[in-house]
Amino acid sequence: MFDLALVAPRAVLDGGERSCVIGVSDGRVAAIEPFGSELPARETVRLTSGDVLLPGLVDTHVHINEPGRTEWEGFESATRAAAAGGVTTIVDMPLNSIPATTALDALEQKRASAAGKTYVDVGFWGGAVPGNVDELAGMYEAGVLGFKAFLIDSGVPEFQALSDDDLLPAMTETARLGAVLLVHCEDARAIADAPASAGPSYEAFLRSRPPAAEEVAIRSVIAAARATGGRAHVVHLASSGALPDLRGARAGGVDVTVETCPHYLTLEASTIPDGATQFKCCPPIRGADNRDLLWDALIAGDIDMIVSDHSPCPAELKRLDSGDFGAAWGGIASLQLGLSLVWSEARSRDRSCGEVAEWMARAPADRAGLSHKGRIAVGADADLVAFDPNATFVVDPARLLHRHPVSPYAGLELHGVVRRTWLRGEPVDVNGAPRGRLLHREEQGLS
């Protein structure tokens, strides 16, 4: 007797679609049987022929900001938005909260602040900052999934950037631990040499964050990974100009993976009005040709995954009144919209739901070491999403569940609606009690 049987005319399994019946027991997928099979279950759910059953998405780049800046975002609001968008696992970034997750006691504070508040499962990255190399092993043993670093000012004083002299020791230690080091790749000197951004001109903002800043920083990360044998991950790739270096490094055996984000795959610079600071993010959204090259690289496998870089703030910090790109906080909140954004663009490029699931579920789960997440497979967590790829809706920021109703996607019509989300075989009710768990590295199990 299964706890749940899902009869799915369309389900994404191993990157492709097929009809099947899925049996769930004790929160995990226990059986995948041919369509038409009758599985004895306490509850049977029959999906319509228009819905596709996807694995729950895994978003490994989310800034929740609690504790310390909970007025920016919090575990409850962020994870409700995640569940509504088909995301069943998130990994929280170590910065923007106070304290930043750069030591074991800060990690314990972060976990305490999250306990009992999460509607989806939540893991944590630790932070690598100047002077904390000796803290990394303790955080890793305590279950963080890896470490995040910046090569440029992060925007908050609690999380300092690694200098050239800091990067190699940090990568040496993460290599020793077997941990992945995620890096925000913009070179501080290249940006210092660029004209500063001030005022409402988006073109001026672009000039202040040139593509070369990403490309130089990525070369530094590749060199450190090559020298140490470390595992590196480039976060939020925006510049297609870095792709040749990344291809060459991977061909040469360097362990480096790459993510990009929905805003880089769906938006482009020529359509961003001056003063529209809701579009500000760092690195910035570049031109349509660059966007197309990112898509080409994603399809070719040169970019591994798509994650949100959900980075909200109070509306006043976006400087919507003045439209000053130099003064506005850089970050886009898209946790609830990522699946629909990517699918809307993917379908226009003749890509499949299976590919989207690979980019947004399996690949990020695997890089974070969460091999029981992000896939519909026997033994995996029964984190599932009923998704209607043909339905449409218009983005209304007031109806989004993250804390602040600011979005560059306001008024945009998107394809793809999440009909229902299951976390470990139980439907998620965003108005009910939260049932998410706090994740540790897989070899330590779940808390």
Confidence bin at 445 (pLDDT 50/70/90): very low
The DSSP secondary structure of 397-436, one letter per residue, reads GGG--SSS---TTTT-EEEEEEEEEEETTEE--TTS----
- pLDDT score of 89 more than 90: yes
Average pLDDT over residues 85-94: 98
Q: Residue 335: its pLDDT value, please? A: 97
* Assigned token pair, 61: 């780049």
Q: Residue 446: its pLDDT value, please? A: 36
**Contact between residue 270 and residue 239 where contact means Cβ atoms under 8 Å apart:** no
Sign of the C-alpha dihedral, residues 161, 165, 171, 177? Answer: negative
Three-state secondary structure call for residue 196: coil
Question: How open is the CA angle 43-8-446, to the nearest 5 degrees?
Answer: 65
Note the pLDDT tens digit of each residue in 66-78: 999 999 999 999 9
Separation CA 396–CA 407 (nearest Å)? 9
Separation CA 22–CA 34 (nearest Å)? 9
**Contact between residue 416 and residue 340 where contact means Cβ atoms under 8 Å apart:** yes
pTM across the whole model: 0.97
CA proximity to 260, closest of 231, 293, 230: 293
| CATH among 3.40.50.2300, 1.10.287.70, 3.20.20.140, 1.10.150.20 for 56-377+394-406 | 3.20.20.140
Question: How open is the CA angle 32-20-23, to the nearest 5 degrees?
Answer: 40
> Using alpha carbons only, how large is the chain's radius of gyration in Å?
21
The DSSP secondary structure of 274-308, one letter per residue, reads TT-GGG--SSPP--HHHHHHHHHHHHHTSS-EE--
Q: Residue 253: its pLDDT value, please? A: 98
Place of tokens 């992060």: 154
Q: Residue 339: its pLDDT value, please? A: 98
Q: Cis omega (within 30 of 0) on the bond before 427?
A: no
- pLDDT score of 162 more than 70: yes
Note the pLDDT tens digit of each residue in 347-366: 999 999 999 999 999 999 99
Note the pLDDT tens digit of each residue in 249-307: 999 999 999 999 999 999 999 999 999 999 999 999 999 999 999 999 999 999 999 99
- pLDDT score of 447 more than 60: no
Residues forming beta bridges with residue 386, ordered by sequence position: 53, 420
* Assigned token pair, 336: 């609830």
- pLDDT score of 94 more than 60: yes
Cα end-to-end span (Å), the chain: 27
**Average pLDDT of the residues of the chain:** 97
CA proximity to 5, closest of 34, 55, 41, 47: 41
Confidence bin at 441 (pLDDT 50/70/90): confident
Separation CA 394–CA 412 (nearest Å)? 5
Separation CA 240–CA 218 (nearest Å)? 12
- Parse the chain into domains and list their residue ranges: 56-377+394-406
Note the pLDDT tens digit of each residue in 385-407: 999 999 999 999 999 999 999 99
H or E segment and range at residue 211: helix 211-228
